[in-house]
Amino acid sequence: MQDFLTPFKESYLIKIIIAIILFLYSLFSNAQVEKTSNLYKVLKSKDSILFKSSFDNCDLKKIRTIISEDFEFYHDVSGSQNKEDFINAVKENLCANPSVNNRTLVKNSLAVFPMKNNNKLYGAIQKGKHTFQQKIDGKMKTVGIADFTHLWILENNQWKLKRVLSYNHKPFSE
């Protein structure tokens, strides 16, 4: 009696058909966009603006323009915040000691995944890792690392940060 899988093991035609199906599936699945794509570049720029505005420049007006009115921030150490709580936390913590803290995106960690409705782009998920530096004895030292996931939504043709997950915070070690 022949094993059920024998035809699959012996038939090159079936293997080719399966390979073609898998290839076509990968083309149409909602995968990460290329780093050269416009969406990736725009959201990488927004990421830089957000952190430059908060860590480097204490530009609360810029932060307000980049985040959604119903913004939600979830942090594994300090809890959750809405837009006003988040802006106040930036003001009270980062702005209170300018040039003491810094954030750096970990090279090659950023990934962007488009969100579509009926094939129309309405948002994107942005994931990555970042390190945090603090000025200690006059020198910037990397003290922590964490993961982040951002949900960006197109609101009136403008990218707005709607949800943030900031997690897996741990001390940095090389």
Residue-level pLDDT at 20: 72
Q: What is the mean pLDDT of each run of 10 residues along the chain (174 residues)?
A: 60 70 54 91 94 89 95 96 96 90 94 95 97 94 97 97 97 85
pLDDT of residue 166: 97
**Residue 159 vs residues 9, 10, 141, 154: alpha-carbon distances, Å:** 50, 52, 32, 5
What is the sign, positive or negative, of the torsion defined by CA atoms of 169, 95, 53, 75?
Answer: positive
Q: CATH code at 89?
A: 3.10.450.50
Number of domains in the chain: 2
Residues 20 and 40 in one domain: no
Distance CA 89, CA 86 (A): 5
pLDDT number for residue 42: 96
Q: What is the pLDDT of residue 17?
A: 72
65 shares its domain with 125: yes
**What pLDDT was estimated at residue 173?**
83
Three-state DSSP class for residue 166:
strand
115 forms bridges with which residues in the sheet?
A: 123
Q: Are residues 19 and 55 in the same domain?
A: no
**Same structural domain, 153 and 92:** yes
Range of the domain at 14: 1-30
pLDDT given at position 24 = 55
Same domain for 158 and 127: yes
62/137 same-domain check: yes
Query: Is 44 found in the same domain as 19?
Result: no
Strands 67-75, 139-155: pairing kind: unpaired
94, two tokens: 């980062």
Q: Give yes or no: residues 83 and 17 share one domain.
A: no
Q: Quick one: 124 and 68 in the same domain?
A: yes
The pLDDT value recorded for residue 99 is: 86
Residue 7 confidence (pLDDT): 61
